[in-house]
């Protein structure tokens, strides 16, 4: 794995680890953070994949746009589009007042991040 790819992976894994710890917290869990960090994890893994395959990494944060770029290299990644539409909502939505994620949303977001992480780690190794 290229050094810069590894940096992306490490940052993504940090987000994943924090989200994983937070989802297990019993007192005052912050489900908004789990959802946001799940989105961030996937964004960074998609960028890691682009980096490893010598593609230009655009300075964007939209998961669907990043997935399209990755799908040009491996079209099987397109199967995750519906899941990434779910995560995409958490890039901004939960960071504003009067919108909060519930436990089930956080669990679903974390599950999607785990699935994408597993698939992309396999592609990167």
d(CA 98, CA 81): 27
In the CATH scheme, what is the homologous superfamily, with its name and number, of domain 3-124?
Nucleotidyltransferases  domain 2 (1.20.120.330)
Q: How large is the average pLDDT for residues 22-38? A: 96
d(CA 117, CA 122): 8
Q: How large is the average pLDDT for residues 30-56? A: 97
Q: What residue segments make up the domains of the chain, in order of their start?
A: 3-124
Confidence of residue 95 (pLDDT cuts 50, 70, 90): confident
**Residue 118, burial from CB neighbour count under 10 angstroms (0-12, 13-18, 19+):** exposed
Please state the pTM of the whole predicted model.
0.95
DSSP letters for 31-99:
HHHHHHHHHHHHHHHHHHHHHHTT----S---HHHHHHHHHTT-GGGGGGHHHHHHHHGGGTGGGSTT-
Residue of 39, 41, 34, 40 whose CA lies nearest to 104: 34
Residue 33 is predicted with a pLDDT of: 95
């Amino acid at each position: 794995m290229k050094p810069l790819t590894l940096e992306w992976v490490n940052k993504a894994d940090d987000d994943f680890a924090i989200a994983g710890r937070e989802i297990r917290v019993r007192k005052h869990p912050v489900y908004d953070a789990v959802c946001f960090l799940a989105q961030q994890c996937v964004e960074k893994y998609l960028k890691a994949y682009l980096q490893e395959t010598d593609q230009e990494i655009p300075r964007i944060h939209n998961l669907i746009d990043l997935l399209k770029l990755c799908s040009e290299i491996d079209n099987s990644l397109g199967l995750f589009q519906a899941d990434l539409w779910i995560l995409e909502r958490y890039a901004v939505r939960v960071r504003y007042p009067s919108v909060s994620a519930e436990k089930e949303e956080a669990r679903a977001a974390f599950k999607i991040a785990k699935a994408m992480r597993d698939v992309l780690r396999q592609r990167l190794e």
